């Protein structure tokens, strides 16, 4: 089975920008496109940035159980579609989900094998600057900042934490996480045919006998 990677962060931290850069430089991974009821922004593309639907359509999807999780955020609905993740798993492709902290917690509960990555800003002042640069001011900015201050402590419940100080550095750190997860024993053996290995090496890995065994009566190892 392929893996689900989740990038989450407080609003304004830069998770979407990091994810887009990441997707362009890592193979065999697809973004899970979130469904939302909010208005489409001028620079956004349908089925690329979000899937934009009406509140009525969204509620029908809830009734059908189409979402792995959903929530209301700042007055709009957001949902994670199950079918995209299931399709990727069938095709052996990893999934990348960019989602808020609340959503990440819910998905992890549904899919404990998901790999969660928390993106954190280098400082509160930098976070304020990024929120303002995104066009949020006054009360809206205050709301997003106060929410961020409550979300940052949630990083304690994530598998990995990455500081988004510089874009390229943050992307490289997340790439390292993805590659390390793919090289875990069970993932490596499952995908072994994808690697350029000699046939004899593959046969030994798949069915050879390990010459070392652990004795039951003491914690030492001996040749068998």
Number of folded domains in the chain?
1
Q: Which pLDDT tens digit goes with each residue over 126-163?
A: 888 887 777 655 557 778 788 888 999 999 999 999 99
154 in any annotated domain = yes
Residue 98 domain boundaries: 4-32+92-187
Residue 47 lies in a domain: no
The pTM score is 0.83
pLDDT in tens, 162-191: 999 999 999 999 999 999 999 888 888 888
Residue 203 resides in a domain: no
41 domain-assigned = no
Does residue 106 form part of some domain? yes
Domain assignment present for 169: yes
Say if residue 15's pLDDT is above 50. Answer: yes
Go through the chain and tell me how many residues it has: 224
Q: What is the band of 224 on the pLDDT scale with cuts at 50, 70, 90?
A: very low
Buried b (16+ CB within 10 A) or exposed e, 183-211: eeeebeeeeeeeeeeeeeeeeeeeeeeee
CATH code of the domain covering residue 129: 3.40.50.300
């Amino acid at each position: 089975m392929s893996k689900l990677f989740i990038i989450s962060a407080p609003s304004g931290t830069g998770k979407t920008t990091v994810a887009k850069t990441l997707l362009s430089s890592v193979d065999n991974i697809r973004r899970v496109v979130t469904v939302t009821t909010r208005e489409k922004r001028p620079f956004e593309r349908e089925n690329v940035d979000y899937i934009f639907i009406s509140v009525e359509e969204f509620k029908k999807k809830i009734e059908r159980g189409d979402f792995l999780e959903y929530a209301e955020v700042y007055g709009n609905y957001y949902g994670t579609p199950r079918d995209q993740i299931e399709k990727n798993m069938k095709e052996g492709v990893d999934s990348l989900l960019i989602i808020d902290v609340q959503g990440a917690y819910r998905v992890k509960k549904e899919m404990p094998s998901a790999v969660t990555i928390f993106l954190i800003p280098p400082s509160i002042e930098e976070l304020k600057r990024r929120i303002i640069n995104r066009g949020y001011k006054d009360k809206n900015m205050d709301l997003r900042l106060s929410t961020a201050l409550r979300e940052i402590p949630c990083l304690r419940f994530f598998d990995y934490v990455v500081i988004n100080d510089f874009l390229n550095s943050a992307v490289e750190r997340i790439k390292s996480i993805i590659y390390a997860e793919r090289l875990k024993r069970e993932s490596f053996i499952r995908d072994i045919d994808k690697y350029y290995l000699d046939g004899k090496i593959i046969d030994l890995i798949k069915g050879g006998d390990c010459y070392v065994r652990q004795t039951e009566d003491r914690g030492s190892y001996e040749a068998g």
